């Protein structure tokens, strides 16, 4: 199969590491990897001619020769400081590999599994194999295909029927240095019937190297499951970050997802939710704060596949300097999804004349008994509000910071994990002070 020039490095790296990868997992997984790398070679990287990528050029990424990141160690204090994770359960991965010495998953309720994929393949194959790579499709998505080809390690969380976690689970991915390196974290989260949990997945960089994180998270919420998921992205300001979150929801399940972006040179988040049972409720929230020449692209798709489901979506961006933001949100209502209730809102605050936002809210409706709305707004700080604050003795910079904080906190305030919410609020204030 012919391979394009910008794919050579990744295909060659797969061939070089194939022996190590084939030693992890059963033969079926090895075949999956082979099929995925072949599909990646056939697809090639997206270009500006691809509709879903027309605002996000990948030249800086595709022209670099990335090698799989080596093993490394990090200090636990750095992890906690970067992710605000001072309580709960921890699964830590450094350069894409499980770090058991930094992880802590003691005193789990009966039947709950929180481990790495390598351990899951050995001891929990009956729970893992029916779900792994069954939801995040790689046939038409080059980055998902590439991640699937390099499946090696990542978090595996399994909640048995009626399990309730009273502490959040923190899934922490750390890039610990290494110029022109790449890691491929893969997470699988399964919540069986009537389970409840809060999950935080954080991606952080310890050094300011040029590296690439290509991650995929698959989450399954079965009947009656209630899950709150927070994704925190604090990569190096020179890093490339591509992440796909794939949600599969069954009858009467309820999933809230919050995506928060601070770092990265080029960032792409794909959040896809399939509401595949009656009575599902899905909430997608997002906040991106970017400055300099950062590029942050948020793509969402909510598939209403069954009747009587609701979805709520609010994505916000704060862009300064020459930052470029992209929002493409699509709500797709299938013919049988009657009584759908869906609302999508995108709001952007531009703090400089050089910042750019491309916003594309979309509705595709093939049912006739629905209530769907969508909209996008772009603006600057309100001059009257600034004048009001200054008339109360607040100086210009502080007035701008207060209004920016209020805009961002509309998203952060929706996160129910108190320590994380407080940490993010302080980070937003610190970001304003250094702007």
Which pLDDT does position 24 carry in this prediction? 63
CA–centroid distance for 313 within its chain: 15
Residue 31 backbone dihedrals phi, psi, to 5 degrees:
-65, -35
Which pLDDT does position 65 carry in this prediction? 86
pLDDT tens digits, one per residue of 340-386:
999 999 999 999 999 999 999 999 999 999 999 999 999 887 777 77
Mark whether 329 and 409 lie in a shared domain.
no
Residue 46 lies in a domain: no
Which pLDDT does position 20 carry in this prediction? 65
Mark whether 282 and 387 lie in a shared domain.
no
Which residue ranges in the chain fall short of pLDDT 70? Answer: 1-7, 18-25, 387-389, 432-435
Per the DSSP assignment, residues forming a β-bridge with 244 are 216, 270
- Sequence-distant (6+) residues with CB within 8 A of 236 are 175, 205, 207, 208, 209, 210, 211, 263, 264, 265
Residue ranges making up the domain that contains 424: 382-435
Instruction: Give CA–CA dist 340/336, Å, rounded.
Output: 10
Residue 57 lies in a domain: no
pLDDT tens digits, one per residue of 54-89:
999 999 998 888 999 988 888 877 788 888 887 779
Which pLDDT does position 161 carry in this prediction? 97
Mark whether 96 and 210 lie in a shared domain.
yes
Instruction: Give CA–CA dist 286/230, Å, rounded.
Output: 10
Mark whether 213 and 232 lie in a shared domain.
yes
On the CB side of 359, CA atoms within 13 Å amount to 20
Residue 30 lies in a domain: no
Mark whether 403 and 377 lie in a shared domain.
no
Sign of the torsion angle spanned by Cα atoms 61, 66, 68, 70:
negative
Are 10 and 40 in contact, with CB atoms under 8 Å apart?
yes
Residue 215 lies in a domain: yes
DSSP of 278-304, one letter per residue? TT-EEEEEEEEEE-TT-EEEEEEEEEE
Which pLDDT does position 3 carry in this prediction? 42
Which pLDDT does position 188 carry in this prediction? 98
Residue 21 lies in a domain: no
Mark whether 176 and 293 lie in a shared domain.
yes
Number of domains comprising the chain: 2
* Cα-based angle 197, 174, 293 (whole degrees, multiple of 5): 105
Which pLDDT does position 392 carry in this prediction? 75
Residue 49 lies in a domain: no
Mark whether 264 and 296 lie in a shared domain.
yes
- Of 381, 402, 421, the residue that ends a domain is 381
Residue 12 lies in a domain: no
Residue 39 lies in a domain: no
State the DSSP code for 61.
H
Which pLDDT does position 339 carry in this prediction? 97
Mark whether 285 and 418 lie in a shared domain.
no
Mark whether 297 and 387 lie in a shared domain.
no
Mark whether 196 and 104 lie in a shared domain.
yes
Mark whether 425 and 345 lie in a shared domain.
no
Instruction: Give CA–CA dist 172/110, Å, rounded.
Output: 23
Mark whether 412 and 291 lie in a shared domain.
no
CA–centroid distance for 172 within its chain: 12
The DSSP bridge pattern shows strands 89-94 and 97-98 to be antiparallel
């Amino acid at each position: 199969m012919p391979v394009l020039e910008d794919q050579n490095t990744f295909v060659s790296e797969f061939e070089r590491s194939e022996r190590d990868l084939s030693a992890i997992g059963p033969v079926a997984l090895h075949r999956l990897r082979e099929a995925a790398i072949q599909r990646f070679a056939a697809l090639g990287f997206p270009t500006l001619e691809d509709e879903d990528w027309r605002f996000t050029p990948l030249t800086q990424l595709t022209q670099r020769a990335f090698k799989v990141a080596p093993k490394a160690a990090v200090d636990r204090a750095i992890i906690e400081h970067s992710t605000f994770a001072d309580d709960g359960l921890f699964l830590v991965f450094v350069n894409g590999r499980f770090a058991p010495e930094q992880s802590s998953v003691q005193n789990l309720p009966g039947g709950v599994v929180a481990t790495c994929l390598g351990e899951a393949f050995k001891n929990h194959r009956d729970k893992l194999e029916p779900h792994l790579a069954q939801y995040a499709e790689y046939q038409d998505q080059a980055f998902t295909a590439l991640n699937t080809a390099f499946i090696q390690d990542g978090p595996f969380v399994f909640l048995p029927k009626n399990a309730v976690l009273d502490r959040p689970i923190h899934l922490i991915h750390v890039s610990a240095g290494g110029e022109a390196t790449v890691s491929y974290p893969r997470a699988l989260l399964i919540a069986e019937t009537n389970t409840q949990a809060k999950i935080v997945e954080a991606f952080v960089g310890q050094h300011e190297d040029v590296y690439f994180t290509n991650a995929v998270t698959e989450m399954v919420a079965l009947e009656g499951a209630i899950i709150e998921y927070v994704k925190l992205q604090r990569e190096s300001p020179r890093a490339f970050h591509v992440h796909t979150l794939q949600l599969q929801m069954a009858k009467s399940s309820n999933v809230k997802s919050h995506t928060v972006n601070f770092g990265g040179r080029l960032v792409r988040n794909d959040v896809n939710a399939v509401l595949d049972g009656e009575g599902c409720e899905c909430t997608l929230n997002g906040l991106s704060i970017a400055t300099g020449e950062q590029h942050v692209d948020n793509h969402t798709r909510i598939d209403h596949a069954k009747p009587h489901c609701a979805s709520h979506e609010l994505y916000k961006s704060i862009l300064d300097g020459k930052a470029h933001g992209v929002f493409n949100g699509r709500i797709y209502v299938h013919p049988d999804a009657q009584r759908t209730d869906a609302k999508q809102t995108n709001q952007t605050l531009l703090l400089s004349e050089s910042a750019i936002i491309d916003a594309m809210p979309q509705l595709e409706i093939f049912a006739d008994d629905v209530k769907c709305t969508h909209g996008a707004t772009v603006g600057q700080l309100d001059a009257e509000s600034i004048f009001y604050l200054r008339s109360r003795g607040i100086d210009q910079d502080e007035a701008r910071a207060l209004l920016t904080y209020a805009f961002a906190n509309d998203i952060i305030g929706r996160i129910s994990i108190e320590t994380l919410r407080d940490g993010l609020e302080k980070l937003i204030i610190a970001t304003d002070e250094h702007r």
